[in-house]
Structure 1
Amino acid sequence: MAPFVYNALRENEIRLVDIFPAGGNEEQIEIGLSTTNLSRCPDYRLLTYTWGNPEERRIVKCNGHEIQVLQTVNSALLALRENQSLSTPLWISTLYINQEDNSEKGKIMGQTTHILGKAVRTILWVGLASVHTSAAFEVVSKLVSARRGVLQDVPLSEIGPRALQTAREKYREIVSLSPPTEWKALEDITGRHMFTRLGLGSGGYRVRTGSVTPLWVV
């Protein structure tokens, strides 16, 4: 199979990824990479991910051709396909940019803020689940619930020292009641190297791991 060849981007164009349903080989990812104008493109999600080992790469089918991606990107695409999360295309930096074209890299840097801002959802792929994953998400859910419980009825203009102090006290209570194993689990997730240099889109974000762990939405 011939390797994938990028077509040059025109002014204000971006590349979006569609994940196709599984074919005969469950381990093989097949995607479509299409070009669209940023000013009139469809809704899309931003996929950001842990780097993992840069030497570990996988072959995916892209527009009928072969292209190499990081193993972490491949596992994220597999998880999204498994969860039937196929309807909205993705913006993925490693596929959006022609890594062999240094001139293109320079041209698109000015677009990144606009691209990130237009994303309707950001998915943070933190990698495959470990034995600690479920406990880690329990801790995060507790902290998020505490924040919402303390601040949800407080107008933004009135969030001052008192409200913040109440939130801190609630957090301390959660910390004191949570067993050490939960915090060890949280370290397992937060210690992974996230691809965060470009920031997040304007929409909410989701954290995924490759397991049956429920999706955590903030």
Structure 2
Amino acid sequence: MISKINLENILFLDIETVPETQYFSDLSETKQALWESKSKYQRKEDYTAEEFYDRAGIWAEFGKIVCISVGYFNILNDLRTFRTTSFFGDEIKILKDFKNLLETHFNQTKHLLCAHNGKEFDFPYIARRMIIHNIELPNKLNLFGKKPWEVPHIDTLELWKFGDYKTYTSLKLMTNVLGIPSPKDDIDGSEVCRVFYEDNDIDRIVIYCEKDTIAVAQIFLRLRGDTILSDDEIIHI
């Protein structure tokens, strides 16, 4: 039962991604053809491959990570705080810094990673980008040979499904129905590409990513039956 998990053993996280280049025309001819083939089913006849390219960030083969935000609980004498920090800038540095965090502070069997839709998106995306950049996977992301109960990942979307695999519930909807302050009070995921490439405003993306990380922790608390975090309990470092 999730109520028995020590909150201090969980690393909550969220990632923000964008297409690997600003424009479709910046891709090599080979990569353009591969994107056309990869995106054909999703775009159907409604869009050309170039028109659909602003969505390329959701595929690790055609996108890149521009921010990973993490958060963790610190509980001392019944005083609870939730500390958040972010890795951003060059993607290789982001991945190496995140790996270093996992290997130095969240490397024990008891430690778990938690994200919303993390098993379908965040965790495999980070792992694929690490492999693309020849970065050896940390144990927490290396699932080869692991049995299902050995995978150290918690997914708040999966918890909310209660075994129902026919539906998807967004982070925004879950915070709304659970009475949690919405993290989507500025931009949403569809705007990250524009804010990154056109506005060059990585700080805005970092704030957005950290808010999503906090929202994941809040949802986990509600699923456990715990009180959600107050603003005073959240510390940005």
Would you call these one fold, judging by a TM-score over 0.5? Answer: no
Please classify the TM superposition score into its range, dividing by the shorter chain length.
under 0.3
Bigger proportion of residues as strand: 1
Structure 2 length normalisation: TM-score? 0.26
Bigger proportion of residues as helix: 2
